[in-house]
Amino acid sequence: MNTNLFMKFRAILLLMLFFSYNAFSQVDSINVVSNDVDNVEIELEQEDSNYVDEESSIIELSDESLKSYIGTAEEYLNYVNILKDSDSLIYHFVQYSGESNLTPRNDNISLVNIEKKVDVIFHPNTRKVMYVSEMLLNENQAWDFIYETFFDEEGLTRLFIRNYSTFNSVCAQVAFERSEYFFNAQNEVIKKNYEIFDNNHNPLIIDDCWMEREDYIKYKSFDELNSVLKIPLEDSSKEEVIETGDKQLETEE
């Protein structure tokens, strides 16, 4: 065989072997990447299947001996709702964007660029706080979250309510959530109610909606909450009397 021909044949053979090996290597790499993607998808599916949305969960009262705690909390809630309906005996505070302190709200105060509103209600005829509402406002001055905390006369939390509203739920023009947490004397949750609904209060299905899950704290006492809010209660002294049916509600300085 001609030497030059032999050398050309050998070179072609080597090139064929090189390209064949390189092709197989690329296939192996593609297979490895494909396997990695498949594994990630499987892990995400497993995470989705194991995910539990605690916010939308419901906890039934399991110990009837604790029913009195529920009754007391509901009495607080009814009392607060009466005052809200008449807008009486409620002390209003606001926090402006970029500031850290709350300011008592009055007729002369600006209601623009507010990022937080705080309302306070006292136990009847005392200066002991029963109720604090913290409303967080967005850039459009509409509320996204409202956190309501109810305290007994010892200042311990008996009921916490989270309210949430959004235009981005994809399941309604506006969607609302309300969670109610009831506590015993040890600050343990003994019952939890949950509902999700539209602006006509028609019930929605949580699995059909996208609802934000923010971090928030359910404070154990008024002192613990107020160490964060620093409500200027010294500026909230006033005397009011209202009639609510047969029951008179009043506070004194």
Residues 6+ away with beta carbon under 8 Å from 131: 76, 80, 119, 120, 121, 148, 149, 150, 151
DSSP of 101-124? S-EE--TTS--SSEEEEEEEEEPT
Distance CA 63, CA 234 (A): 40
CA proximity to 135, closest of 121, 149, 119, 122: 119
Q: What is the pLDDT of residues 183-200, one digit of tens each?
A: 999 999 999 999 999 999
| Tokens standing for residue 210 | 């996208």
In DSSP terms, which residues pair with 149 in a beta bridge? 132, 160
Contact present, 183 and 252 (Cβ < 8 Å): no
Average pLDDT over residues 226-231: 97
pLDDT for position 171: 96
Q: What does the pLDDT read at residue 241?
A: 37
Higher pLDDT, 196 or 48: 196
Of 94-108, 141-155, 179-193, 202-216, the range with the lowest mean pLDDT is: 94-108
User: What proportion of the chain, given as a percentage, has pLDDT over 90?
Assistant: 63
Residues across the chain: 253
* Residue 242: band (very low, low, confident or very high) from pLDDT cuts 50, 70, 90: very low
Contacts of 88 (CB under 8 A, 6+ apart): 240, 242, 249
1 or 78, greater pLDDT: 78
Residue 2 has pLDDT above 50, yes or no: no
Q: Residue 112: pLDDT above 90?
A: no
